[in-house]
Chain A
Amino acid sequence: MTWREFQRLQMVSRVNDRFISHVETGDGPPVILIHGIPVWGYLWHDIYLELARTRRVLIPDLLGFGFSDKADCFDRSIAFQAHMITAWMTQLGIPRATIIGHDIGGGVALRMATLFPARVEALIVMNTVCYDSWPIELMLQFGHPEAHRKLSASLAVRLLRQALKRGFASSRNRKIVDGLLAPYTTETGKLSLIRNAAALNTNHTTEITHLLSGIKVPSLVLWGEEDRFQPIHYGERLVNDIHDSRLIRVKDARHFLMCDQPEIVTKHLLDFFERTVSSRHFKV
């Protein structure tokens, strides 16, 4: 699927004063897939249709990302994104959902599970930011306000494309990387991404560390073993802190494990869905 085909599937919701674009398909219990930085919902294009066989799958672009609102007048921190996703769920009439987050999307998911537990049915994080694992050096530099003047959009995308390659284990089809960066090729897109990077704040995960042990929903930590951006020891730490959780190491995968190993990641997700449903039934 090309990024343009994916974009064409996006719907739109007004949430408070802003708008969020999202793809939605399938029937069943809702599952929300949240991307990280510097990408957008297209990240999930290889795996979401399979999940939609048994689930209502929703893939939002976080505020300031992809084809959601990019106006230069709002907070883009993961703290605010968690509020926005919750408000967006309310808007769509979704009281509770399985939240799957990758990278800073994982940070959003962790905040939701700790701060808005009533909205989270189950939690899956993949190569997520957590504790003080972030922001990575590249994003710190990118988020400097002067970056807007120092980097043209084309140069910024060239640098990001180069950097993103380190997030893939296999030499990916260039079109996928181009698709992941497509919304940021304009000056507006670049500025929005710079503002997103400027909003990355370690405190938004360190401040919830003491709450991780209070997460009561079934949780899965999936990790591309060879990730250079978010090393796996953070995943190991997370499963120690989250009570009902399990770590699955995905071999031959780096940061973008859902692109490196889509079949394996999908299988683990489907297994988790199956087990959590079974365990719920068992508990009942």
Chain B
Amino acid sequence: MKNHPIPEEEAEQELDSIFHEIKQVFRVSGVNLNFRTWASYPTFFPVLWESIRPVAETRLFEESSDQLRALAARLAGKLPRLDAASSVGLGDSQIFQIQAALNLYHYINPKLLVITSMVEYACQHPTMSAFQSQRQDHELMTRGIPLHMYPMEMIDETPDDATRRRTFRDIQRTLGLPGINSDYRTLALWPEYLYSVWHRLKPVVTQPLYMEAALALREAAQHMASHVLPRLTLSEDQLRILGRKRTQFFETTAHFTQLLPPLIVNIVLISLDWRSRQDLEKSPFPIEFSSPVLETSP
């Protein structure tokens, strides 16, 4: 039986604390679908998070994600423009908020792809023990949600109105999604706009150039996970906690590594209606670093 993602507001005690820490470490205003899905493996998730956290708050991780974002902007810049906003009568405040929401996902999605690729790699290559012996110097990021980041507001997965339900169904069917992602649920706050975006995006997602862009992102993230970033330490013993759900967890994680690259491209494509490609190559929430900290694994 499939595990269902745990909504942020339903998280209690230890999980609530982990979700809080995810937002602080990833510098994001909400907990995305992959974390909510991983959280549905209750005994393994705290172990996984302990493995993710030390890497996710390093400068190297942030900069790798920045590189992926820049690559996405360059690749998506070659695709046809959507021009989705022009046909929808949006007000000033609505435009402001859509742009802010796009910035949020433009920031977090590349980070999610990098970390998911790292988890996938760690699952494929478990370590002998739970701890690695090498000493590593890591410059740490300043924790905390950026002041101007839009809240990860989204509508329910099964909306009340038929139009949004239809659009969600079409997105799921076309992209082969098991559920509807946070990005689309956020854009559904402006239903006519989501409809317009999707109407224009749908023919693009089957174009070879689009698929090449998504594949290039996936491969870049896999390379970072296996060759650039310090590997996550998940031992065979730790993975055994998953029990009979192990294969399902691996498949779910692999699915996210396939799902995220197109999402990253989509957000860039949608954002290109408002911002230049060059602008989108930069992080919307550049970070400050604390002074170098010597972190020693036992």
| Chain A interface residues (CB < 8 Å from chain B) | 7-12, 17, 19, 21-22, 67, 70-73, 148-149, 152-154, 185-189, 191-192
Contact = CB atoms under 8 A, between A and B. Distances in A.
B147 interface: yes
B177 interface: no
Chain B interface SS verdict (over half): loop
28 contacts: A7-B93, A8-B89, A8-B94, A9-B91, A10-B91, A10-B92, A11-B91, A11-B93, A12-B96, A12-B97, A21-B93, A22-B93, A70-B153, A71-B29, A71-B150, A71-B151, A72-B151, A73-B147, A154-B156, A185-B155, A186-B153, A187-B8, A187-B9, A188-B30, A188-B153, A188-B154, A189-B153, A191-B9
A7 B89 CA distance: 11
Contacts of B93: 7, 10-12, 21-22, 67
A187 B10 CA distance: 11
A84 to B, nearest CB: 15
B90 interface: yes
A17 B92 contact: no
Contacts of A189: 153
B97 to A, nearest CB: 7
Contacts of B12: 149
A138 B153 CA distance: 25
A148 B12 CA distance: 11
B92 A12 contact: yes
Contacts of A12: 92-93, 96-97
Size bin of chain B's contact surface: 20 to 34
Contacts of B7: 187
Given A71-B150, A149-B10, A186-B155, 9 more contacts: A8-B91, A12-B93, A12-B96, A22-B93, A67-B97, A187-B8, A188-B154, A191-B9, A192-B151
B148 interface: yes
A7 B9 CA distance: 27
Q: List the 8 closest A-B pairs by CB distance, nearest first.
A: A188-B153, A10-B93, A21-B93, A12-B93, A8-B91, A12-B96, A11-B92, A188-B151
Chain A interface SS verdict (over half): mixed
B147 A186 contact: no
B147 A152 contact: no
A192 B151 CA distance: 10
A9 B94 CA distance: 9
Which of A17, A19, A148, A154: most chain B CB closer than 10 A?
Answer: A19
Interface in B60-79: none
A10 B94 contact: yes
Contacts of A73: 145, 147
Contact of B151 (A7, A8, A70, A149): A70
B91 A152 contact: no
B47 interface: no
A152 B8 CA distance: 11
Nearest to B159: A185
B280 to A, nearest CB: 21
B6 interface: no
Interface in B246-266: none
Given A73-B147, A149-B12, A188-B151, A8 B90 contact: yes
